[in-house]
Amino acid sequence: MAILKCASRTLDLSTTQVMGILNVTPDSFSDGGSLYDQQQLSVDVLLQKATEMVDQGATILDIGGESTRPNAKSVTVQQEMDRVLPALELLVANLDVVISIDTSSAALMTEAAKLGAGMLNDVRALEREGAMSAAAATGLPVCLMHMQGTPQTMQQAPEYQSVTAEVMHYLRNRAKLCEQAGIGAEQIILDPGFGFGKTLEQNLQLLQYTSAFVASGYPVLIGTSRKSMFGQLLARDVADRLAGGLASVAYAVMQGAAIVRVHDVKETVDVVTVIEAVKGQGE
């Protein structure tokens, strides 16, 4: 049984866990501003949305205060902390669930751990100055994601000789550096980074070889929810990509993904439950 220690809570990764996305940003690609009221984060709306996700079966909530969509504007560390920390305090005080912090900031990682965060999720794989040592000091599990370029440049003709091999090499190397910094191997999660510097074809290849990432021995997080890959493949707007996302979740769960990061928790939990039940028939 693969147990992930998340501060005072634990997660059983022998079955796929569902992570609900809570963007406390006014400009995220899918739900930007949905938690805001006249440019201010609405505490009531945030708590209602978070409670709904937990009631629907999310075992992790991922709070992000920096939009990393293509061409997103950068934010200061202080802006990010001002968005995330009050939301974290609110959810920790009201919900019995693992709270993940989606950040690349060493300062935010440190403060979030003090306030009860249970996981760190970094799209830059702890590459920013001080991030790796800060993450190690918290003792929390870390999710390392692959991104080619930056949010401002990542979709400008991304190129790979072999996308699966290169992404795997990068993530293995980052994981090794994390272990050398004092982060236990059992506390490291890998994310191939769908949509972060990848074409449609490259995203599909990464999804096809989910099992190869699982075979690395590290838990794997898959985040395809509402991504532009489905817009390109299915000609669907952001609000109409649920079916495509659920298909990718089903495939990833069959391949052994440990965590799926999604906007639509209720539907995803149903898919995961069915797939896990089918897999269980072979035991």
- CATH code for the domain in which residue 190 is found: 3.20.20.20
Least confident of 43-57, 75-89, 119-133, 143-157: 143-157
Catalytic site residue 261?
yes
Q: Which residue has the tokens 């690349």?
A: 104
Digit-coded pLDDT (tens) for 247-280: 999 999 999 999 999 999 999 999 999 999 999 8
Query: So what's the pLDDT on residue 147?
Result: 93
Question: How many domains does one find in the chain?
Answer: 1
Residue 232 in domain: yes
pLDDT exceeds 60 at position 151: yes
Residue 282 in domain: no
Q: What end-to-end distance do the CA atoms of the chain give, in Å? A: 14
Least confident of 50-54, 57-61, 92-96, 159-163: 159-163
Query: Cα–Cα distance between 41 and 50 in angstroms, integer?
Result: 14
Catalytic site residue 241?
no
Q: What is the mean pLDDT of residues 5-17?
A: 97
Q: 3-state class of 95 per DSSP?
A: coil
By percentage, how much of the chain surpasses pLDDT 90?
A: 82
pLDDT exceeds 90 at position 183: yes
pLDDT exceeds 90 at position 54: yes
Given 128, 227, 241, 266, the catalytic residue: 227
Alpha helical stretches, state H, the chain? 43-55, 77-94, 106-114, 131-138, 163-180, 200-208, 210-214, 228-234, 242-254, 265-280
Digit-coded pLDDT (tens) for 192-206: 999 999 999 999 999
Least confident of 14-28, 31-45, 47-61, 167-181: 31-45
Residue 170 in domain: yes
Residue 19 in domain: yes
Structure tokens at 38: 């006249």
Given 69, 124, 198, 261, the catalytic residue: 261
Show the domain range for 188.
Answer: 3-276
Residue 281 in domain: no
Residue 283 in domain: no
pTM over 0.75: yes
